[in-house]
Amino acid sequence: MTTTVARGRQNKKAVAQCCPSVLSSPLDAREAEHLARRFTALADPVRLQLLSILAAAPDGEVCICDFVGPVGKSQPTVSHHMKILSDSGLVHGERRSKWVYYSLDREQLASLRAAIGTGTSNFPTD
């Protein structure tokens, strides 16, 4: 358990170092491009559904074939959305015979959360 806690602290430090908060300091062009690519991948209702299915998966992975029913899209459409999520680094796929099994990259998702969730905001709150 101590190792898990220490690893969690290291991951938080790595996330903080790799992805500065957009609310605490200005981003350079490279950082902004990197974050925008990943946020763009999230800017679709179907892709958000796919991520939520992955996040809720008991085994931490889901076969591409098991996304079709829950999202109500065809297999080619689901594959297209998973490719966008994969290209952005938010999910990883592993081919097993004719199917691909996907899992979340939780560190990448944590870095997005850190990019908008830390620092002092100048935005008004309601």
* Residue ranges per structural domain of the chain: 2-117
Residues sharing a CB contact under 8 Å with residue 109, sequence separation 6 or more, in sequence order: 51, 90
Rounded to 10 deg, the angle between the 2-18 and 106-117 helix axes is 60
| Residue pLDDT, tens place only, 99-119 | 999 999 999 988 888 888 754
In CATH, 2-117 is 3.30.1330.10: no
pLDDT at 63 over 80: yes
pLDDT at 15 over 50: no
